[in-house]
Chains A and B, each alone.
Chain A
Amino acid sequence: MIKTIFAFINAAIIQSIPLLYGATGEIITEKSGNLNLGIPGIMYMGGISGIIGGYLYEHSVANPSAILCVLIPLLSSLIGSTLLALIYSFLTISLRVNQNVTGLALTTFGIGIGNFFGGSLLSFFGETGSISLIRTGKAFKASLPFAHKLGIFGKTFLSFGFLAYLAIAIALVTSYFFNRTRAGLNLRAVGENPATADAAGINVTKYKYLSTLIGGAIAGLGGLYFVMDYTGGAWTNNGFGDRGWLAIAIVIFAIWRPTTAILSSFLFGGLYILSIYIPGLSGSAKEIINMLPYVVTILVLVIISMRKKRENQPPAHLGLSYFREER
């Protein structure tokens, strides 16, 4: 029993990492007033870009080094997801296209790209079978050397690849950035009231672009973690599932706070796999349990809108584009 609980906690943490990346990325984006519903697509993009980079490297040299096995997919993942975020930024910030439409289109696009390359990458090189980057996966999965010596504690809490720790570090840094730095204050101002920020001398366009691009890049790492660490370098079409949407739900659940997002991701990660750990569930009961994260999100929305506390509301200008000389 104890063992099952620890195994569940460990699995919940693993599940929470991609969610946390997605949520942190989306929080940074939304703080600038951009509601990027393309995040699920960007996370697919981050995953497949990492796979492509890793594949090209692993298959072009005889003896791939572990460090490059990490760095190359990391870099290509960042480039891939930033590119997609750039499309979103250009459309919504410079051309002022509706954010919801752009985001949804981007999600469809990103998932499509992921599945296209996931399904056909090997055939471009005349190979068959499915993608499996064993060395890259192993490099990403490398955990702290002393973790296995610490018994069940180490196994439960310290047995992760570096991307897991990076996710938490990024969330903490983001929180510090929002609350303790000038740039963070400026960014929040842009999302709350861009006209005011503009009048205060803040470059609204720059902040919107940067936060959307950086947010996209961070969210993409969630996809990379999934394909490299969680599945160990293998790609399955649609394998990432609806985790991107769950990440967006966490943003609301965590009321736009990165530190709260850490715990929320853990909770949602746990709920995501809860049905597997409860023995003897019928198929329909499993589906109901799988709905829990979304039910909880709706409840949170109801509660924050009932409590009307201003600090807990979404950024006031979320979803709207800004045009300075609009009269």
Chain B
Amino acid sequence: MACAAIELKNITKRFGSKVVANHNVSLSVYKGEILSLLGENGSGKTTLMNMISGIYYPDEGQIFIDGEEVVIRSPKDAFKYKIGMIHQHFKLIDVFSAAQNIVLGLEEEGKFDIKSVTQRVKEISSMYGFDIDPNKKIYEMSVSEKQTVEIIKVLYRGADILILDEPTAVLTPQETQKLFAVLRKMRDSGKAIIIITHKLHEVLSLSDKVAVLRKGEYIGTVNTAETSESELTEMMVGKKISLNINRTEPKDPEDRLEVKNLNCVSADGVKLLDNVSFTARSGEILGIAGIAGSGQRELLESIAGLQVIESGSIIYHNPKTGTEDELRGRSPIQIRELGVRLSFVPEDRLGMGLVGNMDIIDNMMLRSYRKGHSMFLEKKGPKDLAERIIKDLEVVTPSAQTPVRKLSGGNVQKVLVGREIAASPTVLMAAYPVRGLDINSSYAIYNLLNQQKERGVAVIFVGEDLDVLIELCDRILVISSGKVSGIVEGRGADKGEIGLMMTGANGGANGND
């Protein structure tokens, strides 16, 4: 039997004295094989791959390439052994062109000539069927184009071992299929591929073998053909968890928020929202599906009063007074006082909503400091609230005085959502609240949203995982390039249909609601 293209033996990596990111991990990949590395968030997948690509250095253990022990101390060493990593967060320089990014850090013989680089990039593109303009600047590119640049980058360096860190997280179903086709082509040409993911159906459809990590421990490797979704889930989380998300029937839904012909234009004159209309009802979860950057953010920000609205109106049916209030033109604070709450979770989790360097109590206070009666801050209320959230939502933290940035992603999100819920909103907007969370934390968030729904809150949930949207939401609004391409019932919705609507392939034929 031939030697493994790459083999890891008993790898251990610690951060500081307490955190063990990887403990005694062993795995191997052969040429012409795709290995999925499966694990929950924080299970150490990325750390492990970073050690192969030279970003980190293992504390213990050995790495073998083609049967020979190697030492990878830097990314340069990794290139030497023909290892190429496509990171989850793209490692590209925004102001450089694709070609400049591709040759970055390369030490080739001869004069530096960007024209010959461009030529070579075009050759690689046509070989694997990529569609890319080598002279286009990265900041002008879509996410999928950036990923293509990353892949060409490692191929340009002649990589034989490719590592992809959650490559499909940002792609549409169609783009994902295209990527998988490319990966299969590479496998067939004899490359060894490792793909990090936590989407089980991708694991099953793409890979030959699956290696599972759990909390930094290596659980085992199985052949994809001989395993099943439930077995893998069990290996991954350690116990069987229900894949079913609870969904109750909406109780006496009434119109709560009515968005009519909303238009927003960016500073450069690009249409961000194009004639968007929909109604959110109480006691119901309205999902918003769309490719990242299709206007979801602008839509929520418009409702929260953070976005300049070009034309259109947002009518709030106030359950207390029974009046219809126009939200457009009101300040964010006025809108919040009406009970419309935005729990916006952007990519970096701490960007909006929470202040990383402040502790949980102070972050609670961000919402209440105006309510004090004296010139001194009132700490009692926020402290009780912080402690209640920690207890009720099972936030894992040393204390309420711990700076938020030191918590893990899931716990940060629980704190954020918990605070917004505590104000008993009538409209709760959550954007990507489970992004980057492991399964258990995700379910905790779904339960929170469901509780709010049962209390009669109109929940607007922007999500990226279509399976979750279909299982969680009562109705799903699909948005494509700022336009509503349709609203579908969550029960019995077809994933393929929504995927097509997201790309605008149905031409918005369903029109507006």
Contacts and interface: CB of A to CB of B under 8 A. Distances in A.
Q: Indicate, yes or no, whether A interacts with B.
A: yes
Interface of A: 180-182, 185-186, 188-189, 192-193, 195-202, 308, 310-311, 313, 316, 324-325, 327
B106 A182 contact: yes
B55 A185 contact: no
Contacts of A189: 93, 96, 104-105
A201 B94 contact: no
A244 to B, nearest CB: 28
B139 A200 contact: no
B94 A200 contact: no
User: Could you tell me the dominant secondary structure of chain B's interface residues?
Assistant: loop
B376 interface: no
B260 interface: no
B37 to A, nearest CB: 19
B71 to A, nearest CB: 15
A189 B91 CA distance: 11
Contacts of A180: 112
10 contacts: A182-B103, A185-B100, A188-B96, A189-B104, A192-B95, A197-B93, A199-B75, A201-B76, A201-B79, A201-B105
Contact of A193 (B93, B100, B108): B93
B112 A201 contact: no
B56 interface: yes
B147 interface: no
B87 A325 contact: no
Contacts of A325: 15, 56
B501 interface: no
B309 interface: no
Contacts of A324: 55
A199 B53 contact: yes
B103 A310 contact: no
A143 B74 CA distance: 50
A182 B93 contact: no
Contacts of B91: 193, 195-196, 199-200
B107 interface: yes
B100 A310 contact: no
A310 B104 contact: no
A316 B92 CA distance: 12
Contact of A200 (B15, B104, B108, B137): B104
Contacts of B100: 185
User: Could you tell me the dominant secondary structure of chain A's interface residues?
Assistant: helix
Interface string B92-123: 11111000100111111000100000000000
B85 interface: yes
A55 B143 CA distance: 62
Interface in B175-234: none
Contacts of A195: 91
Contacts of A182: 103, 106-108, 112
Contacts of B103: 182, 185
B137 A310 contact: yes
A197 B104 contact: yes
A76 to B, nearest CB: 35
Contacts of A201: 74-76, 78-79, 105-106
Given A192-B95, A195-B91, A200 B105 contact: yes
A186 B93 contact: no
A186 B94 contact: no
Nearest to A308: B267
Give the residue among B78, B91, B137 with the most A Cβ atoms within 10 A: B91
A198 B105 CA distance: 9
A9 B495 CA distance: 72
Given A193-B91, A201-B74, A201-B75, 14 more contacts: A181-B112, A182-B107, A182-B112, A185-B104, A189-B104, A196-B92, A199-B55, A201-B78, A202-B104, A310-B94, A310-B139, A313-B95, A325-B56, A327-B15
Give the residue among A192, A195, A199 with the most B Cβ atoms within 10 A: A199
A202 B93 contact: no
Given A200-B75, A201-B74, A202-B104, A311 B56 contact: no
Give the residue among B79, B104, B139 with the most A Cβ atoms within 10 A: B104
Contacts of A199: 53, 55, 75, 85, 87, 91
Interface in B214-262: none
Contacts of B53: 199
A181 B104 CA distance: 11
Give the residue among A193, A200, A327 with the most B Cβ atoms within 10 A: A200
Contacts of B95: 192, 310-311, 313, 316
A307 B85 CA distance: 35
A196 B75 contact: no
Interface string B287-309: 00000000000000000000000
A308 B95 CA distance: 12
Contact of B75 (A192, A198, A327): A198
Q: Which 6 A-B pairs have the closest CB atoms?
A: A200-B105, A201-B76, A196-B91, A201-B105, A201-B75, A200-B104
A327 B75 CA distance: 18
Contacts of A185: 96, 100, 103-104, 112
Nearest to A191: B93
A36 B196 CA distance: 41
Give the residue among B15, B55, B267 with the most A Cβ atoms within 10 A: B55
Contacts of A200: 75, 91, 104-106
Nearest to B92: A196
Give the residue among A186, A192, A196, A310 with the most B Cβ atoms within 10 A: A196
Contact of B104 (A186, A308, A311): A186
A199 B78 CA distance: 10
A325 B75 CA distance: 13
Interface in B386-440: none
A216 to B, nearest CB: 25
A196 B93 contact: yes
B15 A186 contact: no
